[in-house]
A and B are shown apart, each in its own frame.
Chain A
Amino acid sequence: MEKQLLYSESHEWVKWINESEAFVGLSEYAASQLGDIVYVNIDADEVSLKDVLGDIESVKAVSDFYSPLEGTVVEVNQEIIDNPALINEDSENTWICKIANVTNNVKLLSKEEYDAFIKEQ
């Protein structure tokens, strides 16, 4: 099982806890594109691939936060609800939600592959 962060092409990261559970966060690239994050709302429960988990709002814009996994949202990180700026400070060590009962995932990229992907954007 991959212990490193893996990335989706819609800029979430996935960190596996075991085969059926993972933390999901926002890539540093996406966080810096959004700028100051001021509000996060995760209201999804059962999600299929690419379903909207919730909203991430920065001063500049609102952005959908998509699920890279099929499963059940079992926990939302209360720290980022209370202080969304934590995502800007250290996005790759700040998980947003935990998804369990994972049965499927979108194509996930390694750090190197993701870096190459965003260069093309």
Chain B
Amino acid sequence: MLKKTSLYDEHVSLNGKMVEFANFILPIQYTSIVNEHMAVRENVGVFDVSHMGEILIEGDKAISFVNYLVCTNIALIKPTRIKYSMLLDDNGAIIDDLLIYCLSETKLLLVVNASNKEKDYKWIVDHQKDGVVISDKSDYYSQIAIQGPKSKALLEKIVDLSLLPTKYYTFKESVKILDHEVLVSKTGYTGEEGYEIYGDGASIKDIFNHLIKLEATPCGLGARDTLRLEAGMPLYGHEMDGTTTPLDTSLEYFCKLDKEDFIGKDKLEDKGLTRVGLENLDKGIIRDKMEVYYNDSLIGYTTSGTFLPYLKGSYAMAIINKNYSMANTIVDVKIRNRLVKAKIVNLPFYKRKKVGG
């Protein structure tokens, strides 16, 4: 049975093209992926991301418990701070990537991928110790993302700016927006400045409707995917899965091998793989799961790829043999039955210009 988010009726009345995604029914687009993508790069867009899972970990040992489950070091995490991390299995392969919100010294909220939520929850419960209490809050939380250079200017119309978090990867709880109390974080998955708002369904619905009235562009899953790809951000099921370790996909920065023990640590080894960007120099669009060759040797596979609307070209990410990963190396990619030339480029493909301080 497909789940509807609290914004389902809004999507339908905004002519969203509804599709099935991770057991939810969500809009892939409202008007056009390209238009929605550009609205976020140049103005401001709003996304329903209520499908994301939220798992609450409570207890005196909540931080050390989660620190054992993830590969980053969160031992010193403080309230209002957020960390990006990954859950690894006993082989060091990635179960999921997630955000860890430190609500207090005894309370962490894990925000996980919708498609992995049941698997994550079971994994965490199976490793429960130290009296921590684990609860799935996904049905309670609705979530919207407000993303783009005008996101702050937009929110200013409905909330006192002094209540909002100012630093990237921080959040504030009990922020009063209109008549609602919500959690607001300065996070996102687009490469732009932006915020994510978590709250009960009725609050999020009211805030969403106000933002649409204020002419924020509603954006679907299609633009969410093209924006994150342009920003070089990995997506579970593409740049990582149950056979990939963080080292295989260039996420070693998030593996703190010098911290105390964590699950999967002893299995993390360099397999000679790295994640790169590819710019298509030929005709056609490079997509995921395409073979990458250097001369006649297969050196890896693409993991995501499409036409990127802001850069206006065919780009892809790929996991390949490190020996061929120098920027500007020319490789061949097999698009259906023909080979096209592509150039290895640094990630991210797109980086926003920082304005002011």
Give chain A's interface residues, CB within 8 Å of chain B: 35-36, 38-39, 41, 55, 57, 59-60, 62, 85, 88
Is the CB–CB distance between A59 and B283 below 8 Å? no
> Could you say which residues of chain A place their CB within 8 Å of the CB of B284?
39, 41, 55, 57
> Could you say which residues of chain B place their CB within 8 Å of the CB of A55?
284, 336
Residue of A nearest to B287 (CB): A62
Closest 7 CB pairs of A and B: A38-B307, A36-B34, A57-B285, A59-B33, A36-B32, A36-B33, A59-B307
- 27 A-B pairs within 8 Å (CB atoms) are namely A35-B29, A35-B32, A35-B222, A36-B32, A36-B34, A38-B307, A39-B283, A39-B285, A39-B307, A41-B283, A41-B284, A55-B284, A55-B336, A57-B307, A59-B33, A59-B34, A59-B307, A59-B309, A60-B28, A60-B33, A60-B222, A60-B306, A62-B285, A62-B287, A62-B336, A85-B34, A88-B32
Complex Cα–Cα for A36 and B226 (A): 12
Binary A-proximity of B277-290 (CB < 8 A = 1, otherwise 0): 00000011101000
**Which residues of B282-341 are within 8 A (CB) of A?**
283-285, 287, 306-307, 309, 314, 336
Complex Cα–Cα for A86 and B77 (A): 52
**Which residues of B45-73 are within 8 A (CB) of A?**
none
Given contact pairs A35-B29, A38-B285, A55-B284, enumerate 8 new A-B contacts (beta carbons under 8 Å): A35-B32, A36-B33, A39-B307, A55-B336, A59-B34, A59-B226, A59-B306, A62-B336
Complex Cα–Cα for A38 and B32 (A): 12
> Could you say which residues of chain A place their CB within 8 Å of the CB of B34?
36, 38, 59, 85
**Which residues of B252-288 are within 8 A (CB) of A?**
283-285, 287
A-B contact count (CB 8 A): 40
> Could you say which residues of chain B place their CB within 8 Å of the CB of A57?
284-285, 307
**Which residues of B11-32 are within 8 A (CB) of A?**
28-29, 32
> Could you say which residues of chain A place their CB within 8 Å of the CB of B28?
60
Residue of B nearest to A85 (CB): B34
Cβ of B302 to closest chain A Cβ, rounded Å: 13
Cβ of B310 to closest chain A Cβ, rounded Å: 12
Cβ of A20 to closest chain B Cβ, rounded Å: 30
Residue of A nearest to B308 (CB): A59
> Could you say which residues of chain A place their CB within 8 Å of the CB of B287?
62
> Could you say which residues of chain B place their CB within 8 Å of the CB of A59?
33-34, 222, 226, 306-307, 309
Complex Cα–Cα for A48 and B24 (A): 42
> Could you say which residues of chain B place their CB within 8 Å of the CB of A36?
32-34, 307, 309
> Could you say which residues of chain B place their CB within 8 Å of the CB of A35?
29, 32-33, 222
Complex Cα–Cα for A88 and B28 (A): 17
> Could you say which residues of chain A place their CB within 8 Å of the CB of B226?
59
Residue of A nearest to B28 (CB): A60
Residue of B nearest to A57 (CB): B285
> Could you say which residues of chain A place their CB within 8 Å of the CB of B283?
39, 41
Cβ of B53 to closest chain A Cβ, rounded Å: 25
Complex Cα–Cα for A59 and B221 (A): 12
Complex Cα–Cα for A62 and B338 (A): 14
> Could you say which residues of chain B place their CB within 8 Å of the CB of A60?
28, 33, 222, 306
> Could you say which residues of chain B place their CB within 8 Å of the CB of A38?
34, 285, 307
Complex Cα–Cα for A88 and B34 (A): 12
Complex Cα–Cα for A57 and B284 (A): 8
Cβ of B89 to closest chain A Cβ, rounded Å: 32
Complex Cα–Cα for A25 and B268 (A): 53
Complex Cα–Cα for A39 and B309 (A): 12
